[in-house]
């Protein structure tokens, strides 16, 4: 079963890199403003559809992408 996760970043650069790499890895990913209930340094987050948060974290780590926090499933 697929769930939505919100990944926040320290900068817009990391958010854009994550969108590119996660999409290339086969995830459904889009950038959007950070929802009010979450906080972020840059104000941009990635909304990612995945089976679990660990798969998203593994994909980010394999590309050496820095993230702030992951929230979900939503």
pLDDT tens per residue across span 48-68:
999 999 999 999 999 999 999
Q: What are the E-state strand segments in 1-74?
A: 3-8, 28-33, 44-50, 69-71
**Counted domains in the chain:** 1
pLDDT at 36 exceeding the cut of 90: no
Which pLDDT score, from 0 to 100, does residue 32 have?
A: 97
Predicted TM-score (pTM) of the model is 0.93
Domain of residue 59 covers 3-71
Find the angle CA(7)-CA(36)-CA(73) to the nearest 5 degrees.
40
We report the CATH number of the domain holding residue 15 as 3.30.70.100
């Amino acid at each position: 079963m697929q769930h939505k996760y919100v990944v926040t970043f320290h900068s817009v650069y990391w958010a854009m890199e994550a969108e590119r790499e996660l999409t290339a890895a086969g995830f459904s990913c889009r950038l959007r403003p950070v929802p009010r209930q979450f906080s972020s340094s840059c104000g941009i987050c990635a909304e990612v559809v995945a089976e679990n948060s660990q798969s998203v974290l593994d994909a980010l780590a394999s590309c050496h992408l820095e993230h702030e926090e992951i929230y979900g499933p939503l």
